Structure 1
Amino acid sequence: MSTATGTQPTPAAETPKHDEGVTSAKAFYDSLASKKRPKLPKPQNAVTIAVSSRVLFNMSEDRKMYEEEGVEKYVQHQQTHEEEPLKTGPAFPFVKAVEEVNKQLRALYPDSEELFDIVLMTNNHAQVGVRLINSINHYDLNIERFCMTGGKSPIGYLKAYLTNLYLSADSEKVQEAIAEGIAAATMFIAKKDLVLSEKQLRVAFDGDAVLFSDESEQIVKEKGLDSFFEHEKKFENKPLAQGPLKCFLESLGKLQRKFHAKGARLNCPIRTYLVTARSAASSGARALKTLRSWGLEVDEALFLAGAPKGPILEKIKPHLFFDDQMFHIEGAQELGTIAAHVPYGVGQKYHKSTLKEAEKK
């Protein structure tokens, strides 16, 4: 086929010419091939993380338009600006770190499908999808699975996508997910920027009502600290029941062991932390023995005996910190930690008003 000016195409035998930065046709096509997206794992083999559009991207102004001007104006705005990438949100560094782990796993295990898989799970309308796709491509994210539910709650789809963790800006949807037995948390934007590792995914967990059940917190609230310490000493060798995030730590541990098997324990690109208000001498043993009984471990365990968690987290610089107490979330936010609230256990009735206020900020 000739061009619009009538110029004949380059004969097949001739070598195409390219920019000076590409010295040969082979180098040119190699550069294109290098941009090919990696093959996605089968869902049954993957660690699937569902993220909402409002945590992957910063859509606070868009959300305000939706609430004040309605869905039609919102959809029209997204279509008008669909070539303009959305700004990054609190889950973005976590997703980028996850993709780095996948890159290193593929290098060690080229045929393995035990990888992270990110799903965009949103109640946005399909008409907004083009802007979301363009934004994902702009940031070169490997996200191919989408669920856009057109204003309906996406929670019913989480199990169908075999979700291991759900991250959202909507606390009510997170509560729905946890009620369905799915690990979930409400994400918040940090109030200052920290430089996070680009080569190592770091995830920090609170203990009670996050990794473990809230049975010990119930004793504290009902009978006080002295009774709590007595209880933990008495039942030191009885494992705590599991909490809502235990299964996600289990998923992280499964991928960590793949690196350990290749002699990469010390420079593993996944690092986990237990950051708990428990005191080591009085109640720490039961927490560690519980993890051991589950066949799980954390890389670092920090027992703070009631001290603020923010300064410790500022040193750790996790991509994500999970806690069930809003005052710990807020303290972490103030010092730059990306935090996620787990609505579980006896304290949640008290936290609901605080949580709603935090969502508005």
Structure 2
Amino acid sequence: VRMVSTVTNTDVKQKDVDQAVVVAVTFAAVFEPETEDGSSIYRFGVALPLVQVLQRVNERLLEKNPAEHQLFDVILITTESWQQQQNSSIINSTRHHGLEVGRFCFSTEEDYIESLMQNNVQLFLTTDGNEALQATQQGVPSALLDTNWVSCPSEQLRVLFCEKAIIQLNMGSTEASKKSAQNFLAHLGQMKQKFGVFDSPLCFTLVTSHGGKDNCCCALKSLRSLGVSVDEAYCLGGAPHGPILSLLRPHFLLSDGFSLLEG
């Protein structure tokens, strides 16, 4: 049976549907498939520090303005049938790890895209390249999380832009996903503008791979036109991404409307 069921997390104050920035993270990114010894609590996976830092950004925004509505609204989404059967364990695991997840969407391989659409998801985070690509093709900006390294716990959300994200589209991106991607970037920019340069819970870095200084300036201008100010910019001039990524350790990379970045 094809179905998408959404469960509201009553432990969490629900966000303003018109102003919140909805980020969906897959169960497989947040948790490992096995539970902790003898319990029904899942061990945490690669995306746990990311979900925690999104909460931290929300806390900082609310400290600045208790009436703030432009907050991250994190939803947890299942994309495999077996996960649907485990909904109480998934909800309990989220509670156990202190994660502020607003809603749980229990869907299958066939209809997780539908649940992204139903919930107006503005950024979909997954460890599965095919899922990221499919969502991007359907106009939902997606970023692939790297399972090779888990970001350390952090007070600051570190986002890395690659110049392709802003200048050209990859094959999987549609006009719709480009527009949605720009919309998401504009939201990030607005959040950052609420803080001073040295006191922001958001840190943005631009890395351009090719084309020298001109390409870098062009990418900076494109970001600026969306209201996004960058903290640091690196022009690699054809050098591999690997070393700079291991130094910067971003929580996620945004490239090509967005979908995939080859590191």
Q: Distance in 1 between matches of 2:181 and 2:208?
A: 14
Q: What residue number does 2:134 align with?
A: 176
Identity between Structure 1 and Structure 2 (%): 30
1:110 paired with 2:66, answer yes
Q: Is the 8 A contact 1:256 1:268 kept in 2?
A: yes
Q: Which runs of 5+ in 2 are unaligned?
A: 1-9, 171-177
Aligned Cα RMSD in Å?
A: 2.9
1:164 paired with 2:100, answer no
Q: Is the 8 A contact 2:21 2:73 kept in 1?
A: yes
Aligned AA (2:184)? F
Cα displacement string for residues 249-288 of structure 1 (whole angstroms, at most 9, x for unaligned residues)? 22211211122xxxx3211010111112034334322222
1:249 paired with 2:185, answer yes
The alpha-carbon deviation at position 127 of structure 1 amounts to 2.5
1:277 paired with 2:233, answer no
1:133 paired with 2:67, answer no
Aligned AA (1:255)? M
Residues 207/111 of structure 1: CA separation in 2 closer, same or farther (3 Å cut): same
1:212 paired with 2:167, answer yes
Aligned AA (2:85)? Q
Aligned AA (2:259)? V
Q: What residue number does 1:219 align with?
A: none
Q: Distance in 1 between matches of 2:254 and 2:76?
A: 20
The alpha-carbon deviation at position 314 of structure 1 amounts to 2.3
Q: Which runs of 5+ in 1 are unaligned?
A: 1-35, 63-77, 216-241, 325-340, 345-350, 352-361
SS in 1 for 2:217: helix
Q: What residue number does 1:44 align with?
A: 18
Q: Distance in 1 between matches of 2:194 and 2:121?
A: 21
The alpha-carbon deviation at position 177 of structure 1 amounts to 1.3
The alpha-carbon deviation at position 171 of structure 1 amounts to 2.6
SS in 1 for 2:140: coil
The alpha-carbon deviation at position 147 of structure 1 amounts to 0.7
Q: Is the 8 A contact 1:212 1:244 kept in 2?
A: no
Q: What residue number does 2:259 align with?
A: 342
Q: Which has the higher contact order (CA 8 A, sep 6+)?
A: 2
Query: Is the helix fraction higher in 1 or 2?
Result: 1
Aligned length: 244
Provide the TM-score with structure 2 as the length reference.
0.81
Q: Is the 8 A contact 1:277 1:304 kept in 2?
A: yes
The alpha-carbon deviation at position 164 of structure 1 amounts to 0.8
Q: What residue number does 2:52 align with?
A: 96
Q: Distance in 1 between matches of 2:29 and 2:115?
A: 18
SS in 1 for 2:118: coil
Q: Distance in 2 between matches of 1:212 and 1:154?
A: 29
2:252 pairs, out of 320, 326, 337, with: 320
Residues 297/139 of structure 1: CA separation in 2 closer, same or farther (3 Å cut): same
